[in-house]
């Protein structure tokens, strides 16, 4: 099946800093999503982004499907951005979603 | 409001006692899925369903059953739970659209 790798595994930021999280995948995809799991365990969809670039407030995401990676940008980070960020996608011809292991982000005041 | 509702939120049970975790969605999505989340292993898909009466195995289906008799509901059944099924479980709906998760069910099997 498809391999999904996220980097870095852990990230500590000062409030106000910017960051880039990366998701590499081993197969062509037609569906890629980013999620945030907050400290209370809730999983929130941030972006459905099979290709191109999207922005939502301080967050934006870019997927370059031909090069098999996606990036999540967080600007002017806030303590409420803390948590774990996951990307997920299916393999070519598959409906089975595979998640990366996540990037744990800690934003400190 | 788009919603995926799973119940119960917390469940403690004993080995071998059958249990069902319910999941329902109000978004009319054809695709629904179940995941378990374990420390160090991340989120792994248990089963998914592409439509009513159509289900398929994910990465870790052993010890679980599902059914999809109607579009909005997708229950997860553990016929004979074992301690290695102690985990945090999530139901989700959506596929070629933003995937929405329920709030999770923390299951402990003693």
Encode pLDDT of A42-75 as tens digits.
999 999 999 999 999 999 999 999 999 999 999 9
B1 touches B97 (CB < 8 A): no
What would the pLDDT profile of B23-75 be if each residue is shown by its tens digit? 999 999 999 999 999 998 999 999 999 999 999 999 999 999 999 999 999 99
Residue-level pLDDT at B97:
87
User: What does the alpha-carbon distance between residue B86 and residue B83 come to, in Å, rounded to a whole number?
Assistant: 6
A103 touches chain B (CB under 8 A): no
The structure tokens listed for B43 are 């989120």
Answer yes or no: is pLDDT of B9 > 90. yes
B4 touches B21 (CB < 8 A): no
Q: How confident is the model at residue A108 (pLDDT cuts 50, 70, 90)?
A: very high
Answer yes or no: is pLDDT of A30 > 90. no
Cross-chain CB nearest to A41 (options B45, B92, B104):
B104
Measured between beta carbons, the chain B residues lying within 8 angstroms of A47 are 98
Using DSSP, state whether A80 is helix, strand or coil.
helix
User: What does the alpha-carbon distance between residue B96 and residue B92 come to, in Å, rounded to a whole number?
Assistant: 13
Strands B10-13 and B105-109: parallel
What would the pLDDT profile of B72-96 be if each residue is shown by its tens digit? 999 999 999 999 999 999 999 998 8
Phi-psi region of A53 (alpha: psi -120 to 50; beta: other; left: phi over 0): beta
For chain A, what percentages of helix, strand and coil (3-state, to nearest 5) are there? 5, 55, 40
Within 10 angstroms of residue A26's Cβ, the number of other Cβ atoms is 14
């Amino acid at each position: 099946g498809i391999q999904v790798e996220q980097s870095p595994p852990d990230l500590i930021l000062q409030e106000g800093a910017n960051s880039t999280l990366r998701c590499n995948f081993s197969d062509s995809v037609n569906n890629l999503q980013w999620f945030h799991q907050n400290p209370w365990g809730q999983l929130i969809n941030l972006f459905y982004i099979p290709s191109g670039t999207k922005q939502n407030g301080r967050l934006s995401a870019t997927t370059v499907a031909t090069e098999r990676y996606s990036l999540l940008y967080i600007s002017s980070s806030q303590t409420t951005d803390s948590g774990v960020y996951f990307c997920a996608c299916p393999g070519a011809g598959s409906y089975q979603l595979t998640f990366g292991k996540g990037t744990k982000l800690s934003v400190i005041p | 409001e788009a919603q995926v509702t799973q119940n119960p939120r917390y469940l403690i049970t004993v080995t071998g006692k059958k249990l069902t975790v319910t999941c329902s969605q109000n978004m009319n999505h054809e695709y629904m899925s179940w995941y378990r989340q374990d420390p160090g292993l991340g989120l792994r898909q248990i089963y998914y369903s592409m439509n009513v009466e159509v289900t398929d195995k994910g990465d870790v289906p052993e010890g679980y059953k599902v059914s999809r008799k109607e579009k909005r509901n997708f229950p997860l059944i553990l016929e004979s739970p074992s301690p290695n099924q102690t985990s945090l479980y999530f139901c989700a709906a959506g596929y070629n659209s933003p995937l929405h998760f329920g709030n999770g069910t923390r299951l402990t099997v003693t």
